[in-house]
Amino acid sequence: MSEQVSASAPPQMVNVQINGVWHEFPKGTRVIEACEKAGSYVPRYCYHKKLSSPGNCRMCLIEMGLPKMGPDRKPELGADGKPVINWMPRPQISCAQDVSEGMGIRTDSPLAQECRKGVMEFLLINHPLDCPICDQAGECRLQEFSVEYGRADSRFLENKVKKPKNIELGPRVTLDDERCILCSRCIRFCQEVAQDDVLGFVDRGSHSVLTAHPGKRLENNYSLNTVDICPVGALTSSDFRFQMRVWFLKETKSFCTSCATGCNTVIGTREDVIYRQTPRENDAVNSSWMCDYGRLNFNYLQSEKRLLEPEILSGDKLVPSDWNTAIAHAAAQLKHFSGWEIAIIASGRMTNEELWLTRQLATTLGVDLIDIVPRTGPGDDILLSVDRNPNTNGARLLGVTSYPGARLREIVDGVASGRIRGLVALGEDAADIGLTPAQLAGLPAFVVLNLLANNSTAAATALLPSFGFAEKRGSMINGKGRLQRLNRAVRGPGQARDDWEILRDLIQAYSGRNGIYSIEDVFRQMSESVPALAGLSLSKIGDLGVQVLEIEQSPAPLWELESEKAAR
C-alpha cells in the first residue's frame, strides 16, 4: 500500500512515538521495521521483509494509537507540544501497517508482553520440543523468543497433534510437519520469488499441515531458501542435516563464485571444513536469496582430487617437489622461449588480484596471447546468470581478455602448429579448449596452476596447487559491475598456496623483488593503475561491495523487481 517514493525526491518523513520517544521515519516504513530501527525489536515469525505479510503468527502484536483529533480535525497537542495519542484498545500487528504521522507504538507494554507470552505458549503446545536433535537448535526463533516470552513450565496436559515427519519435499529439502508453525514463509517464497507454486497447506485448524502435492516436488533451483527462512526446524537442508550443530560453525562473509551474479553469502565452517553456505542480504545483488546450485557448489574444495603439493617433471613423470624448486623450475622452463612462443590461458574464476598479477606475468614474459575460457549455462530471470564465470568483468577490466574466448582458437592453432611451445594454464583445464593429450604432452613447457586434478594436469611440466574461493582473499567484479570481496573461511589443504602468491613468486623469478608482500599490496598496485578501482582498497570494499562499472543494459537488481511486483 505504501507509496513508491522515487529515489531522487527526499522521502517524506513522519513522526512516530515508540515507547514514549518520538522518532522520524520515511513515509512507507513498516511499523515493525520502524520499531527495529528505534532499537525495539519486535519478535516475529511469519513476517519477512522480502515477502508479502499475511499477519498470521500474531507474534508481533503491539499497542498502537493514532493522534487524537480535535473538533477542527487537527491533532490535539499535549503539554510537550506533541500530538495526544488515542490508544486502540485491541493490540495490532506491526508487520502489515506503515507508520503514519503522529502514530504511537508501545512494544513493551504489559498488554504487548502478555500477547507475546500467549502466542509463544500456543506455538509450543503442539511443538515436539525435540530441540536436542533438531538441526535448527541454536538458530531457532522458537528457542530465542522462548527465552524472553516463554514459560518455564507447561500447562498443556493433552496429547500433542500428530503430523507427518521426515518427509522428503524434494531432493534437497526435508520437512518435519510437527515442528512447523504454519507461518507460510516457504509457501510465499515459492509463489513470490521462486515462481514455483508447489507448497501449500492441507487440512484445517490445528491439524493443518504443510505439504507439496504428492505428484510434485520442491525441486526448483531456489528450494533451499525455504530452509533459510523457516523460522523453526520444520524445513531442513538434506545436505546439511545432522552434519554439525550450528553453534560450532564459524561464519565468514563471502560471496558465491558459481556465476556472474555473485550472491552474497555466509560460509559456515568448523576446523577448516565447510558445512554450508547461506545467502546474505544484499539488495544490490541477491536480495536475501541464492540458488541451490551455487549454494551447494563447495564440496569440490573438499574433494579427493585436490592437488596437495607442487610437482615438477623429472624424466618423464611428475614428482613431488617443494615450492622454491617448483617455482624456479617453472620459470626456467618458460625462459627458454620468447614471448611470442608462449600463451596464457587464464580464468574468469580468478580474483582481480590474480588477474592483475597474470597481466604482470604476461608483460614480464612479453606474452601477448592471453585469454580466459568462457563458461556459460542456462540462466533464469531470478538470480542465476548465463555467465558462469564470476569475474568476467574483472578479466575485461584488467586487460586479460577483451572478448572472453576470442583468442582461444589462436592458442589451439598455435600449439597445433608448433609455434606455441610454452603454455601457462591458470585455473582452467587446457583440454577443455580443444587441446589433445598428445599436443599437451608435446609441449616443452606446460605450467599448470590449479586446485583440482583434471584431464590435462598429468601433462604438466610444472604443477602448482592453489586455493579455492573459500580459502583465499581477493576481489571480483560481478556481472552488474559490482566489486565484491572474498574472505578466507578455511585454510587450504596440504601445501597448496594462495594463487596470488604463486603468481608473485613466478614474476619475481624473472624480475626480482617487486615490493609485493600482501594481497593489499597487489590491490594497491592495481588500484593505482586502473581508474575504475582508484581510491579503493580491499577493506573499503566492505561486506556489501562497491559499484565500480556501469554495465549497459544490466538487468535490474532482483530487489527492484520484487518491489515492482509488490507494487503491482
Partner 1 sequence: MTGRFVSVDSTNKRISAELERKMDEAISRYPSDRKRSAAMPLLHLWQEEFGFISDEGVGWIAAKLELQPINILELVTFYPMFRQAPAGKTHIRVCRTLSCAMVGSYQVMERACAAAGIVRHRDDNGMHHPFSVSKDGKYSIEFVECLASCGTAPVCMVQDELVENVHPENAPALLANHQSLITHHVPPPHPLEYRLIFKNIGRHDWSPDIDCYLRNGGYEQLKKAIKMSRTEIVNEVKTSGLRGRGGAGFPCGVKWSFIKADEKKPVYLICNADESEPGTFKDRYIIHEDPHQLLEGILISCFALNAKTAYIYIRGEFPEGARILERAIEEAREKNFLGRDLLGTGFDVEVYIHRGAGAYICGEETGLIESLEGKRAYPRIKPPYFPAVLGLYMCPTIVNNVETLCHVKHIIEMGGGKYASLGRPNNTGTRIVCVSGDVQRPGYFEIEVGAVTMGQLIYDMAGGPRYGRQIKAVIPGGSSAKVLRADERFKLKLKQPDGSMADQEVSLYEIPMDFDSLAAAGSMAGSGGVIVLDDSRDMVWTLNNINEFYAHESCGQCTPCREGSLWMQKITDRMLLGGGVVQDPDTLKNVADNIAGRTICAFGEACAWPTQSFVEKFRDEFAARSQKPVPPPMPPEYTPEELIDHDRIATTPLKRNPGREETATAGTI
| Footprint on this chain of partner 1 (rule: CB under 8 A) | 1, 53-59, 61, 90-91, 93, 96-97, 114-115, 118-119, 121-123, 125-126, 153-159, 161-164, 167, 181-182, 197-209, 211-216
| Nearer to partner 1 (CB atom), residue 10 or residue 205 | 205
d(CA 406, CA 400): 11
In whole angstroms, the minimum distance from the beta carbon of 16 to partner 1 comes to 16
| Nearer to partner 1 (CB atom), residue 1 or residue 133 | 1
**Could you give the count of Cα atoms lying within 13 Å of 237 in the half-sphere of its Cβ?**
21
| Nearer to partner 1 (CB atom), residue 58 or residue 375 | 58
For the stretch 391-424, what's the b/e string if a residue is b when 16 or more beta carbons lie within 10 angstroms of its beta carbon? bbbbbbbbbbbeebeebbeebbebbeeeebbbbb
| Nearer to partner 1 (CB atom), residue 97 or residue 297 | 97
In whole angstroms, the minimum distance from the beta carbon of 182 to partner 1 comes to 7
333: part of which helix (H) or strand (E)? helix 323-335
| Nearer to partner 1 (CB atom), residue 93 or residue 326 | 93
In whole angstroms, the minimum distance from the beta carbon of 380 to partner 1 comes to 18
| Nearer to partner 1 (CB atom), residue 81 or residue 215 | 215
In whole angstroms, the minimum distance from the beta carbon of 20 to partner 1 comes to 23
Non-local CB neighbours of 36 within 8 Å, separated by 6+ positions: 42
In whole angstroms, the minimum distance from the beta carbon of 44 to partner 1 comes to 12
CA 206 to chain CA mean position, Å: 36
In whole angstroms, the minimum distance from the beta carbon of 9 to partner 1 comes to 24
d(CA 21, CA 308): 60
Helix (H, G, I), strand (E, B) or coil at 483: strand
In whole angstroms, the minimum distance from the beta carbon of 364 to partner 1 comes to 60
Separate counts of helices (H) and strands (E) for the chain: 15, 24
Q: Which among 285, 224, 220, 226 has a CA at the least distance from the CA of 256?
A: 285
In whole angstroms, the minimum distance from the beta carbon of 126 to partner 1 comes to 6
Residue 350 C-alpha cell reads as 580468478
Which residues, in sequence order, are bridge partners of residue 448? Answer: 425, 463
d(CA 528, CA 279): 32
- Name the residue with cell 561491495: 545
| Nearer to partner 1 (CB atom), residue 20 or residue 205 | 205
In whole angstroms, the minimum distance from the beta carbon of 208 to partner 1 comes to 4
In whole angstroms, the minimum distance from the beta carbon of 502 to partner 1 comes to 52
Q: Which amino acid is it at 331? A: A
Which residues, in sequence order, are bridge partners of residue 127? Answer: none
| Nearer to partner 1 (CB atom), residue 61 or residue 549 | 61
CA distances to 45, 175, 180, 192, 278 from 236, rounded to whole Å, are 17, 6, 11, 20, 13
Q: Which among 510, 492, 354 has a CA at the least distance from the CA of 428?
A: 354
d(CA 444, CA 438): 12
CA 143 to chain CA mean position, Å: 26
Residue 375 C-alpha cell reads as 563458461
**Could you give the count of Cα atoms lying within 13 Å of 82 in the half-sphere of its Cβ?**
17
DSSP conformational letter for 182: -
Q: What is the DSSP string of 212-229?
A: E-TT----STTTHHHHHH
Work out the widest C-alpha separation in the chain, in whole angstroms: 100
| Nearer to partner 1 (CB atom), residue 167 or residue 296 | 167
d(CA 291, CA 294): 6
In whole angstroms, the minimum distance from the beta carbon of 34 to partner 1 comes to 16
Other Cβ atoms closer than 10 A to 57: 24
| Nearer to partner 1 (CB atom), residue 59 or residue 326 | 59
Q: Which amino acid is it at 51? A: L
Contact indicator for 80, 86 with CB cutoff of 8 Å: no
In whole angstroms, the minimum distance from the beta carbon of 114 to partner 1 comes to 8
Q: Which segments of 100-246 are extended strands (E)?
A: 103-106, 167-168, 173-175, 199-202, 209-212, 235-237
In whole angstroms, the minimum distance from the beta carbon of 56 to partner 1 comes to 5
In whole angstroms, the minimum distance from the beta carbon of 565 to partner 1 comes to 14
| Nearer to partner 1 (CB atom), residue 4 or residue 547 | 4
| Nearer to partner 1 (CB atom), residue 38 or residue 182 | 182
d(CA 269, CA 250): 5
Contact indicator for 239, 296 with CB cutoff of 8 Å: yes
